Amino acid sequence: MTAAGCSLFSARDDLAKLMDREVGRTADDLDSYRANFPELRRGARKLPNGQIEEEWRTGFRDNCPVFFEVDPAGGKVLAWRFGLPDDDCILAQPRQEALLKEKPPARRSPGP
């Protein structure tokens, strides 16, 4: 049972690394998640601090909610977080894995 648990945590960590890479990127960056998976965007809203929060789906069965905080002036991702429920927040698609291998991860902002 421990091996399965380690595998799941590793897959979640890999997805977190992929999302970490989005910080500082715009949707125009061809290596960004947002550029590669536009069909997985679920919506956006304005935050009280003036930034935009975009909701995306990723992970197993594209059923993991992910939120990017985006600077409306430059379109860059400032931070990100997993949403709930997060049961499917694991790296599961070969296309997503290919993005992860292209560049070292950036730092993720602390979540709520």
47-96 pLDDT, tens digit each:
999 999 999 999 888 999 999 999 999 999 999 999 998 888 988 766 66
Burial, 51: exposed, middle or buried (Cβ in 10 Å; 0-12, 13-18, 19+)?
middle
Kindly state whether residue 69 falls inside one of the protein's structural domains.
Answer: yes
**Is the residue at 107 inside a domain?**
no
Q: Which residue has the higher pLDDT, 46 or 86?
A: 46
Tokens of 55: 């909701």
In sequence order, what are the residues at sequence separation of 6 or more whose Cβ sits closer than 8 angstroms to the Cβ of residue 57? 40, 42, 63, 64, 65, 66
Q: How many domains does the chain have?
A: 1
pTM listed for this prediction = 0.76
CA angle (90 as vertex; 84, 92 as ends), nearest 5? 135
Residue 91 maps to a domain: yes
Instruction: Name the percent of the chain lying above pLDDT 70.
Output: 73
User: Is residue 109 situated within a structural domain?
Assistant: no
Which pLDDT band, with edges at 50, 70 and 90, does 4 fall under? very low
Residue 13 covered by a domain? yes
**What is the residue range of 96's domain?**
2-100
